[in-house]
Structure 1
């Protein structure tokens, strides 16, 4: 996507947010609109903390059991995005942010993301480097351990070492 398209998307989205805020403020008044915007940010920060902690605990539990925490990793990214959207003033970003923070909708969206594409991960290897692995879901249960693909995907393993001069 080119810089121009990204710029016009962000500009158009910001303009839409301002129009929605102005319309709501025209209906209920500016003071209540501002209070509602601040209240959604506070509620969002509370949800972000509680849901983030729950997701972190589930991620650690799966890692200790030797399972790949793909669902939890995707949910963690959604939580970060949802938290950022909720502290951004506007009702459209608040609606999307709440959808990403509420457990039911977040888990449903995370399952769809996992089922649709490839789950990729970086893992540490002995010697201080990182290994990149690509896993592909082949359908079925989204909570099963994914398998490494044998269909032409490239997996690059390697190590990096920093040498200070």
Structure 2
């Protein structure tokens, strides 16, 4: 019987483990410099700031998105900024000084713009629209459309449908 467990480490797990060790090292360094209580106070303060900034920035970005939609523009930049603000707030809420620094940097609009420009260059958005009246050019054997002939179905009077309740039939008359 073969081995069902993977022997190679998961890269995301390795990165998470490294991030945890970096945060612990940050706690130790800051704790030595300013003391344990001050370190705990900074952690709690950053969590509260994350919640407050998430609320304030989220409402601001929501109104910007609404105004962009009202003007007829696609709010792609505002959506990206909103996602980055949510990530920044989550990074502030997570205990740790390195995540706090990254979170605070993401609250700066110019940094969000740089990230959006970098991501938008690497991203391809594909959209398609079909009116439903075009002939498909692919094999219909995999389609979920059922094509019935005229003798395969029949229509009936909707007043005498078995799916209607008696009171519905009375109201129709």
TM surpasses 0.5: yes
Moved over 3 A (4+): 155-159
Match of 1:76 in 2: 82
Match of 1:93 in 2: 99
Match of 2:46 in 1: 40
Tell me the alpha carbon deviations over residues 92-140 of structure 1, each in whole angstroms, 9 at most, x when there is no partner: 00011111123343234323333x22263xxxxxxxxxxxxx2xxxxxx
Q: RMSD of the alignment, in Å?
A: 2.1
State the TM-score, normalizing by the size of structure 2: 0.64
Structure that is richer in helix per residue: 2
Shift of 1:157: 4.9
**CA pair 119-68 structure 1, distance change in 2 beyond 3 A:** farther
State the TM-score, normalizing by the size of structure 1: 0.67
Match of 2:12 in 1: 6
Q: What is the aligned counterpart of 1:117 among 114, 119, 122?
A: 122
Structure that is richer in strand per residue: 1
Q: Any stretches of 5+ residues in structure 1 without a counterpart?
A: 121-133, 135-154, 160-165
* Pairs aligned (count): 124
**CA pair 3-80 structure 1, distance change in 2 beyond 3 A:** farther
Q: Any stretches of 5+ residues in structure 2 without a counterpart?
A: 1-7, 133-173
Does structure 2 conserve the Cα–Cα contact (< 8 Å) formed by 1:24 and 1:33? yes
Does structure 1 conserve the Cα–Cα contact (< 8 Å) formed by 2:50 and 2:90? no
Shift of 1:46: 1.6
Tell me the alpha carbon deviations over residues 46-82 of structure 1, each in whole angstroms, 9 at most, x when there is no partner: 2221111111111111111211111101001101111
Shift of 1:22: 0.8
